[in-house]
Structures are given as C-alpha cells and as structure tokens.
Amino acid sequence: MKLYIVPTPIGNLEDITLRAIRILKEVDLILAEDTRKSGILLKHLGINKKMFSHHQHNEHKTATMIAERIAVGESIALITDAGTPAISDPGFFLVRECIKLGVEVECLPGPTAFVPALVNSGLPNDTFCFEGFLPQKKGRQTKIKSLVSEERTMIFYESPYRLVKALEEFAEHFGADRKVSVSRELSKMFEETKRGTLMGVLNYFKEKTVKGEIVIVLEGNKTERNVTND
C-alpha cells in the first residue's frame, strides 16, 4: 500500500484540503504527533479512525515497524500537530525507512508556516534558505555565526519564549539595521506580521507578551551579494 504525508491546518481549520480529508477517511491508520490534539481536528472533520502516536521521542524506534506494516498491505497517513510533516516535525525517518523498503510515499500539498511568512515579509524570495529551529543551547552561537555571510533570505522557526533572545542575537551578529519580518499566529484570529530593522522589531516585541508559533524571516547579507555580483 502507501504512506501518505498529510499536511494539517496551522491555525484556521478551513485550510485543510478536500483530498486530505478523503485520505484520512480512507487509510487504515493515522499516525499523529499528539493524538489528543489531532483527535480534536479529526472530530471536527467527522473522522473516526484508529490513531497511533508518532513523535520525535519514538520515531527512531517505530519507523521500521510502521514501514513494514505498510509493506504487507496497510495504508497509513502521517499528520503532525500543524503543518506539513517532516518540516521541523517528525516524518523524515519514517519516509526514509519506507523508501529503503520500497514502500510508496505520497506527500499531499498543504499548509506550512514558512511559506506565507516568507511571502508576507516583502524580503527577496527568489532564493532563500530554511533553517528551522536553532539549537536551544549547544551549537546555537556556532550556527548563527555560520550564517553571517549568507546572502539568501533566511527563515527560522522560534518559540515565543525565545523570540526576544533570538532577535538580540541576530542584531549582535548580523547588525542592528538588518531587515527582518516576524510573523506569529499565522491564519489565526490574532495573526500579526511585524517588519522593520532587527533593532526596531526587537524593541517592539520587548514591550509585548508574545504568544503563538513564530516565523522569523531575515534579510540576507547584501554586502556579500553585491561583492559577488561585481
């Protein structure tokens, strides 16, 4: 049979596709990052289907078992709490294991947070690099320093609790005048995108209690780009 990678809404429940709903109704089993959260979505969609927990703490151990189940005839869908599986969420190890076993994998198109954040930013999007979540502790500064000369627009995911810290670190290493766009609560009632310089956006969020998932879109190094083009 097949492994289906099924994106789910990042906020607004209307953003799920008709095809995604059909697949979730048809499969034998749904793998969910958090079965309680996914249960709310499935109930909203009128889907009553057996679920199995598949998250970052068990995906290494269960990927082979799940791939083998598909290989002998089951159809299984993978969803996460929000967005497209395997994009800063569990999924990569399972997809890789299925490919190793010759199991067909089909990823449906659908919601992912960084695309609307990038488009909303107004920063160049003809080429960009997606960095996901920075390391919380070990390797964080090394990673940031490695991106100082990056010419492409950079995209990061961040926790609301570490947003101010991230902006402070970016201002220190990339320069306070570097342009940035911060999007939060995308597709939800209190969606917000704040654009400006790193220092300006940092000062704005220092005065706020920040909630929701965060996407930071950071301008690339124009100096490096101009030198390269000369």
Confidence of residue 184 (pLDDT cuts 50, 70, 90): very high
The DSSP secondary-structure symbol of 29 reads E
Across residues 25-46, what is the average pLDDT?
96
pLDDT of res. 225: 57
Stated pTM of the model: 0.92
Q: Are 202 and 175 in contact (CB under 8 A)?
A: no
Q: What is the DSSP letter of 78?
A: E
| Region 174-190 average pLDDT | 96
CB 202 within 8 A of CB 171: yes
Task: Write down the residue that tokens 């609560």 correspond to.
Answer: 185
Parse the chain into domains and list their residue ranges: 2-107, 114-229
What homologous superfamily is domain 2-107 in, according to CATH? Tetrapyrrole methylase, N-terminal domain (3.40.1010.10)
User: Mean pLDDT score of the chain, rounded to an integer?
Assistant: 94
Q: Are 132 and 112 in contact (CB under 8 A)?
A: no
* Total residues found in the chain within this entry: 230
**116-156 tens-digit pLDDT:** 999 999 999 999 999 999 998 899 999 999 999 999 999 99
Q: What is the pLDDT of residue 14?
A: 93
AA letter at 169: E
pLDDT tens-digit map of 58-112:
888 899 999 999 999 999 999 999 999 999 999 999 999 999 999 999 999 999 9
The reply to whether 2-107 and 114-229 are identical in fold is: no
Q: Please give the C-alpha separations between residue 72 and each of 40, 86, 104, 141, in angstroms, as whole numbers.
A: 30, 24, 12, 46
| DSSP symbol at 188 | S
Q: Is the pLDDT of residue 34 over 90?
A: yes
First to last CA, the chain: 53
> What CATH fold (topology level) applies to the domain 114-229?
3.30.950
Q: What percent of the chain has pLDDT over 90?
A: 90
